[in-house]
Amino acid sequence: MGRIVLDGLTKQYGDVVAVDGIDLDIADGEFLVLLGPSGCGKSTLLRLIAGLIQPSGGRVLLDDEDITYAPPARRDLAMVFQSYALYPHLTVARNIGFPLRAARMPRARIRQRVEEVAALLELDGLLERRPRELSGGQRQRVAVGRAIIRDPRAFLMDEPLSNLDAKLRQATRAQFRTLHETLGATVVYVTHDQVEALSLATRIAMLDGGRLEQVGTPTEVFDEPASVFVAGFLGSPPMNLLPARVEGHDGRVRVVAQGVEVDLWPGEEVESRDVILGIRPEHLRQTDSAGPVGTPVLRGEVQAVENLGAEESAQCTVGGAIVQFRGARPLGLAAGQPVVLTTARDHIHLFDRSSGRRLAWQARQKQPTPVAPHR
Ligand SMILES: Nc1ncnc2c1ncn2[C@@H]1O[C@H](COP(=O)(O)OP(=O)(O)OP(=O)(O)O)[C@@H](O)[C@H]1O
C-alpha cells in the first residue's frame, strides 16, 4: 500500500509561503506529477512528504498513519534526486544494494535482490562498474534501482530526468512508464516539463504560488484547464488568451473583441461580462469567409511565420492581441498578409477576466458560469 494524504500542508519561510494549505489525496498506485513553473513550491512539497523539512502547518498521512513529524528513515518512502546521489567509490551492485546492507539483510539475499532489480532496469551487465564509468542515463537507473530495492510504499522523484539530454530523456521516460506499470507503486514526481507530466502522470497537480490550481488526469488538465494560468502553461505554444466580452444583441449571444466574433448561442439574455477567450493554436484554421452563422471568426494580420519541421507556426495580431496559429507546413502565409481564422465551437474556452477561473458554458447554453475551484 502507498496512499499519501496531504491535509492543509503549509510551509512558510519568513514572509514567503512556499506551500500554502495543500489538500491532496494520492491513491495507492498513482503516478502523481507535481507540475508548475520555477518557484511554485513543487520541491518544497515533495521534501515535506519525504520528511527532509518540517511543515509550518498541516499533516502528511501515509496509509492513514500520521507521519508529519516522523524522521525520513522511518517513512518507508524512497527519494530519487536529480543529482542521482550515488556513492562514487562503490560499484553499481553495491550502490543498488546499499539500503539492504544498511538493513543488515544476509549477503546472498542482497545479491539475489540486486540481480533482480538490475535485470528490471537493464543494468545486468554493468554491476561491477563504478558510477564514473556510466552514462547519465545509466547512473539515473542505478539511483532508481537503489530506491526500488527497498520496496518502499511510494517513490518520491525530484526532476529525475533533468540532467539527461533530450533523446535519453525520452527513452528514460518510456522506461519509467513501464516500470510504474510493472511495480504498480505510488509515485510522486516533480517536474516543470509539461511533456513529462502529460506522458507519465495518471494525475497532474498544477501548482502556482504554493497553491493547487488544478488536479486532474492529463486529458482533463489539457482539455479543460481550470484557469488562465493552467491554460497558459500547457501546450506548445500555449493556449491563445484574448481579452473579450460576452454580449447579447441581434438575437445572438457572442464573445466579441476587436477582430473577434464568436457565436455562443441564439438569444440575447445574458449578463454582459469581461472574459478571456482561449483557443489552442492547433485548433485554429484558415478560412476565406465568415462561414455559416455561429462560426467563430478572428480577423488579423500575419506578423511572422516560423518553420517547425513538419508544421509551421504563424504569429498574427488580432485587434491588440497576439494569436499563434499552428498547422501542417506550408501554411501558405507571409508576414504582412491579412488572415481570417476560425475554429470549432467545441474548442472555445472562456475564463472570467477578474478571477481567471474557467467558465462553463457549453453544457448549459445559458449564462457562462464559474467552474468550482479545486477546493
Ligand atoms: N530554504 C528556503 N528558504 C527560504 N525560501 C525558500 C527555501 N526553499 C524554498 N524557498 C522559496 O519557496 C518557494 C518555493 O520553492 P521551491 O524550491 O519549492 O519551488 P520549485 O517549484 O521546486 O522551483 P524549481 O522548479 O525552481 O526547483 C520559492 O519562492 C523559494 O524561493
Reading the block at residue 320, the C-alpha cell is 491588440
Residue 364: pLDDT over 60: no
Distance CA 298, CA 289 (A): 11
Q: What average pLDDT score do residues 268-292 get?
A: 85
Residue 374: pLDDT over 60: no
Closest-CA residue, ligand 1 atom 8, reads 44
Q: What average pLDDT score do residues 251-280 get?
A: 87
Say how many C-beta atoms besides its own lie within 10 A of residue 38's C-beta: 7
Report the DSSP beta bridge partners of residue 149.
none
Residue 1: pLDDT over 90: no
Closest-CA residue, ligand 1 atom 25, reads 38
49 CA distance to ligand 1 centroid (A)? 15
363 CA distance to ligand 1 centroid (A)? 39
pLDDT band (50, 70, 90) for residue 348: very high
| CA-to-CA separations, 277 to 218, 300, 315, in angstroms, rounded | 22, 16, 17
| CATH fold for domain 240-359 | OB fold (Dihydrolipoamide Acetyltransferase, E2P) (2.40.50)
| Run of H or E residues at 150 | none
Distance CA 186, CA 28 (A): 5
| Run of H or E residues at 103 | none
38 CA distance to ligand 1 centroid (A)? 8
- Give me the pLDDT at residue 375, please: 47
Minimum mean pLDDT range among 107-116, 238-247, 265-274, 331-340: 265-274
41 CA distance to ligand 1 centroid (A)? 6
Domain ranges of the chain: 4-233, 240-359
Higher-pLDDT residue of 217 and 289 is 217
Closest-CA residue, ligand 1 atom 14, reads 41
Residue 373: pLDDT over 70: no
Report the DSSP beta bridge partners of residue 60.
6
| CA-to-CA separations, 233 to 6, 241, 300, 369, in angstroms, rounded | 24, 11, 24, 23
Distance CA 239, CA 267 (A): 28
Which pTM does this prediction carry? 0.89
pLDDT band (50, 70, 90) for residue 176: confident
Query: What is the Cα gyration radius of the chain?
Result: 25
Average confidence score pLDDT of the chain: 90
Higher-pLDDT residue of 121 and 369 is 121
Q: What average pLDDT score do residues 54-62 get?
A: 97
The residue to mutate among 42, 163, 213, having the most atoms of ligand 1 within 8 angstroms of its beta carbon, is 42
Closest-CA residue, ligand 1 atom 13, reads 18
48 CA distance to ligand 1 centroid (A)? 12
- Give me the pLDDT at residue 363, please: 42
Burial class (CB in 10 A: 0-12, 13-18, 19+), 187: buried
- Give me the pLDDT at residue 371, please: 67
Residues contacting ligand 1 via CB (< 6 Å): 13, 16, 18, 36, 38-44, 192
Nearest alpha carbon to residue 365 among 231, 225, 248: 248
SS3 109: helix
Distance CA 172, CA 142 (A): 12
Atom of ligand 1 nearest to the CA of 14: 4
Residue 293: pLDDT over 80: no
Q: Residue 119: which residues within 8 A CB-CB, separation 6 or more?
A: none
- Cβ pair 306, 318 in contact under 8 A: no
39 CA distance to ligand 1 centroid (A)? 5
pLDDT band (50, 70, 90) for residue 346: confident
Report the Cα 293 to chain-centroid distance in Å.
37
Atom of ligand 1 nearest to the CA of 43: 22
Tens of pLDDT, residue by residue over 146-164, are 998 988 999 999 998 887 7
Class of domain 4-233: alpha beta
Nearest alpha carbon to residue 136 among 170, 161, 173: 161
Closest-CA residue, ligand 1 atom 20, reads 39
231 CA distance to ligand 1 centroid (A)? 23
- Give me the pLDDT at residue 372, please: 63
Closest-CA residue, ligand 1 atom 11, reads 18
- Give me the pLDDT at residue 252, please: 84
Residue 240: pLDDT over 90: yes
Atom of ligand 1 nearest to the CA of 192: 25
Q: What average pLDDT score do residues 65-84 get?
A: 89
Distance CA 190, CA 188 (A): 7
Closest-CA residue, ligand 1 atom 18, reads 41
- Give me the pLDDT at residue 179, please: 84
SS3 5: strand
Atom of ligand 1 nearest to the CA of 44: 18
- Give me the pLDDT at residue 45, please: 97
Higher-pLDDT residue of 183 and 110 is 110
Burial class (CB in 10 A: 0-12, 13-18, 19+), 246: buried
* DSSP code at position 227: B
27 CA distance to ligand 1 centroid (A)? 26
Report the DSSP beta bridge partners of residue 279.
240
- How many CA atoms, within 13 angstroms, populate the side-chain half-sphere of residue 227? 18
- Cβ pair 263, 305 in contact under 8 A: no
Tens of pLDDT, residue by residue over 100-145, are 988 889 999 999 999 999 998 888 899 999 999 998 888 988 998 9
| Run of H or E residues at 136 | helix 136-148
Residue 33: pLDDT over 60: yes
